Amino acid sequence: MNKLSTIDYIVFFVYFIIVAGYGIWIYRRKTGHDGTVEGDSKDYFLAEGSLTWWAIGSSLIASNISAEQFVGMSGSGFKMGLAIATYEWMAAITLVVVATFFIPVYLKNHIFTMPQFLSQRYNGTVAMIMALFWLALYVVVNLTSILYLGAIAISSIAGLNLNFCMYMLAGFAVLITLGGMKVIGFTDVIQVFFLILGGLATTYLALNLVAEHNGTTGVINGFNLMTHNAGDHFQMIFKRDNPNYIDLPGLTVLLGGMWIVNLNYWGCNQYITQRALGADLPTARAGILFAAFLKLLMPVIVVLPGIAAYVLYKQDVFGSAEFGAGANLNPDRAYPVLLNILPTGLKGLSFAALTAAVVASLAGKANSIATIFTLDIYKKVINPGASEKTLVSTGKIAVVVAMILGVLIAPHLGIDKKGGFQYIQEYTGFVSPGIFAMFILGFFWKKTTSSAALFATIGGFMMSLLLKFLPGMMNLSFLAPFGFAIKNAEGIYEIPFLDRMGFVFIFCVIAMIFISLFETSRGKKTNGLEVDSSMFRPQPSFVIGAAAIVVILTTLYTIYW
């Protein structure tokens, strides 16, 4: 039944009161009890020196996990199984790389926003183009998709009006975001607590339900039954004859394009890196390592319920009325369907977990939008002499405006019809190879020029489009023997999008090297960053934690290869 009981609402409002109350308390401590002292803009946008390692790690995960994971990744778990967990598990090792090599460069060069990095490393033109691009991307794509997918999920569970759910999520997120990064960071600790607790409760009930419908009890028995009844859903590396190979093409998830997806997302993304940019290096690294360990846990929360829903669907526990059938089968219904069968109280807890994930992501995204607009556009172009108080006020206005735009735009984009986790990943992949090439060469090769950087972003996007639509123009079957083309559902050979991202990245790097060498040979000057090998030397505790993650991942991939 698609509605919450009185007890479920009580559980949810307890969550709301705890998060809102804690946020207000943090804000009053930050500003003074009368609320008159705002602090400077770096404190507001970055919580400079205020966030602990556990707050940084929690905030990274809270900002990352949203409706696209709970709904979309569970749907992918229903459709293709544990293999989709590669996005989470490879993210764990990626976070170790980012903490080791990326964060030291940002902190050593006092970089607080991604456009600031581009301005410092290349020039103001590149920075302004990318600042406007990121603002448009964050508002029109990310903010709207989080809002709309979250509202759809919550509406389907609670039986509430879709628009009301969207307004509720936006209002709650604004309430947290207006307090600044310190409030976001520390309330995210509570958000992650509810997210994990509620998520684990859903997984527990889903696995137990599998056991009960097969004449036994317990989550261990439920898990064993899932591996027996859906063995094909517990393979991490797909072979070419697997129908889902086009989404996760074999070893590419370990050696190819998956690295570009993750390194660009975790290392070159204002929305994410902002959490660590206000801390010192040991604290930032410890926080990122903590996030990496939490990432290892995420598939238990978002993928296993999807597989459980698949097993129950195949056993006719859920009818076609819940998921559809044939061409109308909708795997993204997996998580909402499971939540609707949870017992009273636990349903409210899981509902709170989903809300926490969506609100935390919205707050993080809105804060990043405000940071880029205020520090990289307003302060540099509109009002260079703005006071710290004016900058903070401008940031708050930007938060409200961005959220209003998100609410107004979201219903008209057809997000629910495009759907799912894989869609979001593929279409983000049109721009990420070029952006990542621009960042990685900008970090570690001082000869990289601004013209090369611009070419990577524009040329990379154009090549991504070409490779996407190339199958409609010519037969790519000649690439099949090399493993770089496979038949899609229409029988046309196309390049899997993760492989496509790898090709585009290599193209961008080669083109950037040629352009840079050509320009520097003619006297073009470049702005190298301050980089030395001592920056990358980690603490012993970090090395031990990183080694533990490598061992855990090696074990997981060995067991479920």
pLDDT at 509: 94
Alpha helices in 138-256 (DSSP H): 144-158, 162-177, 181-212, 219-229, 252-255
Q: Using one digit for the tens of pLDDT, what is the confidence trace for 502-522?
A: 889 999 999 999 999 999 988
| 3-class SS letters over 19-45 | HHHHHHHHHHHHHCCCCCCCCCHHHHH
Residue 561, CA atoms < 13 Å, CB-side half-sphere: 5
How far is residue 398's CA from residue 369's CA, in Å, rounded to a whole number? 7
In the chain, what percentage of residues exceed pLDDT 90?
14
Q: Using one digit for the tens of pLDDT, what is the confidence trace for 201-229?
A: 888 888 998 898 888 888 889 899 998 88
H or E element, residue 447: none
How far is residue 45's CA from residue 323's CA, in Å, rounded to a whole number? 43
Higher pLDDT, 28 or 467: 467
pLDDT at 35: 44
Asked whether the predicted pLDDT for residue 39 surpasses 60, the reply is no
Sign of the dihedral defined by the CA atoms of residues 213, 217, 219, 224, in that order: negative
Q: Using one digit for the tens of pLDDT, what is the confidence trace for 393-446?
A: 888 888 899 889 888 888 776 665 544 455 566 667 788 899 899 999 988 888
pTM higher than 0.85: no
**Span 20-30, average pLDDT:** 74
Single-letter residue type at 175: L
How far is residue 461's CA from residue 276's CA, in Å, rounded to a whole number? 29
In the chain, what percentage of residues exceed pLDDT 70?
87
Asked whether the predicted pLDDT for residue 144 surpasses 80, the reply is yes
pLDDT at 416: 55
How far is residue 471's CA from residue 480's CA, in Å, rounded to a whole number? 13
Neighbours of 524 (CB within 10 A): 15
Q: Using one digit for the tens of pLDDT, what is the confidence trace for 7-16?
A: 888 888 888 7
Ordered structural domains, the chain, with CATH = 52-421 (1.20.1730.10), 429-530 (no CATH)
3-state class percentages of the chain: helix first, strand second, coil last, to nearest 5: 75, 0, 25
